[in-house]
Amino acid sequence: MPVYNPPAENIKFILHDVLNASQLSELPGFEEVSEDLMDQILEEGGKICSEVLFPLNQSGDQEGCHYENGVVRTPEGFKEAYDTFTEGGWCGVSADPDYGGMGMPVLMNTVMQEMICSSNMSFGMYPGLSQGAYEALHHFGTDEQKELYLPKLIEGTWSGTMNLTEPHCGTDLGLIKTKAIPNDDDSFQITGTKIFISAGEHDLTENIVHLVLAKMPDAPDGVKGISLFVVPKYLPNEDGSVGERNGVRCGSIEHKMGIHANSTCVMNFDDAKGWLVGEPHKGLKAMFVMMNAARLGVGMQGLGICEIAYQNGLAYAKDRLQMRSLTGTKYPDKPADPIIVHPDVRRMLLKSKAVTEGGRALAYWTGLNLDISQKHEDEQARKEADDLVALLTPIVKAYLTDMGTEIANECLQVYGGHGYIAEWGMEQYVRDARIAQIYEGTNGIQALDLVGRKMGQGYGRLLRRFFHPAQQFIEEHQADENMQEFVFAFAKALAKLQQSTAMIAQKGLKNPDEAGAASSDYLRQFALVALAYMWCLMVKAAQKKLDDGEGDKEFYEAKIKTARFFMQRLLPEADGRFKMILAGADTLMDMDAEAF
């Protein structure tokens, strides 16, 4: 049976020692956000994840969702768990207090997302989709729409969805066929079919609020003709209560590789009544607010899988007895040594630990800057933080989800044959992790976003938000004897990243295929360098604790040893990616399609 313990000590280390998250108390609206308050939220959130959500993860996967005549029933225990979740206010951790939210920083919601995804990724998608709907309506909804929908989404009595994909189009949304015909009032009749709609139909809430991309009759071709509409499952009465059924039905649910306890639906809109969100033909702008929030959330799914896979791989490696150590017996009182004595098992576990802890720092740093971008009183500080979040979003989404699959597979390998057996729970993490590399924009699309949009935006302005503080850190710490081995490795990798950035920018202007061919390797190179930066920050924080004689000495020494492993064993991959980028587009594009 799998295990999960919220990694509170590691989370607190990142929040308090590395990021100094209490600085958020200086921002308007966050005056009460102290270190103690953050720790309380972490503790209570950890309890509901480990005690309520995690026990349903394996049973929910085995049972799956049930579909009959347009009705979807979630696995046994999910409705009760959802009610407990909503009663605790967990749907509105970072939501606007004016509509009933806690008003906590996005950073704390990021922490909660990680723990939810570790404990029960399928469950987490239900409130996760609602959060995306909340973001879109909060940014672009009318006052009437906000008053009607936001309190319900925050309290969790209503849930939300994103309806983008259609049978003939996914990434190329300009091809959508769903129509929005205006009525005599301010509503529209929405007709069309959407597929792959997560949480599109279920029994957890009294109403489901669908955000739907559609085209009006006068819409121009392509993405410039897309509008966004809010289409509730049940039409609200004037007092906000649930009224008559709208013309939207679930046609079927998908039978899929993983996330069995989350309903993935085909949604049929048949003259369903909807209302415009934002401006006509500007729906993609509104939807991207929702999608960017979702992309960071999906990144946390990857991180959550990394953490739960590592915890279970580690527990098994300490318990499983097989053979003796290569350098002689380590546990003479046992018939064999636990497999954690073997170098290759340690390689897999240390890789899992280094990626998980480094990825956590990167994700939380992004969450911190998202708060600064929204709340800081200085416009320039807001803009700089927003630039950094825009730059890091595709990296967090793509790298952490790639590693979710990779680390789940590594930790399954630790189990050997037992990892392949459902009873142990590891094979579920491999299956669940895989979708995160695909939805909310495949990781190849994230890479194209990084090189095609983020790299050149503002003549490299976004890139400078990372390169400048990174270079400054190197200059400030290169003479520190305790930091030199880490700073020098980071500096070399950063220089190579700057080289590949310049080369891709130059070649891509002449031939866009050059940028496309380099994109995935560049994103991975950037991610590794970003994690190297995070590990430098963690070493600095851990070394300070050791110098001051504070806290758990073994904990901080382990941070430094893990950083050393990352720099020597994982960061060199960035150099390999640099060489792949140098190869250019010819090896990919020279072959005719018929020759494949």
What are the catalytic residues?
440
For the record, the structure tokens of 11 come out as 């989370």
Picking from 524, 57, 572, the residue whose alpha carbon sits closest to that of residue 311 is 57
Q: Answer yes or no: are the C-beta atoms of 201 and 182 closer than 8 Å.
A: no
Picking from 172, 542, 200, the residue whose alpha carbon sits closest to that of residue 357 is 542
Q: What does DSSP say about strands 227-232 and 207-214: parallel, antiparallel, or unpaired?
A: antiparallel
Q: What span, in angstroms and rounded, lies between the C-alpha atoms of 593 and 77?
A: 51
Q: What span, in angstroms and rounded, lies between the C-alpha atoms of 405 and 302?
A: 7
Give the max Cα distance, the chain: 84
User: What are the b/e assignments for 400-439, b being 16+ CB within 10 Å?
Assistant: bbbbbbbbbbbbbebbeeebeeeebbbbbbbbbbbbbbeb
For the record, the structure tokens of 188 come out as 């529209």
Q: What span, in angstroms and rounded, lies between the C-alpha atoms of 137 and 132?
A: 9
For the record, the structure tokens of 433 come out as 């992790």
Torsion 562-567-569-574 (CA) sign = positive
Q: Please tell me whether residue 332 adopts helix, strand or coil conformation.
A: coil
Q: Which DSSP helix (H) or strand (E) runs through 182?
A: strand 179-182
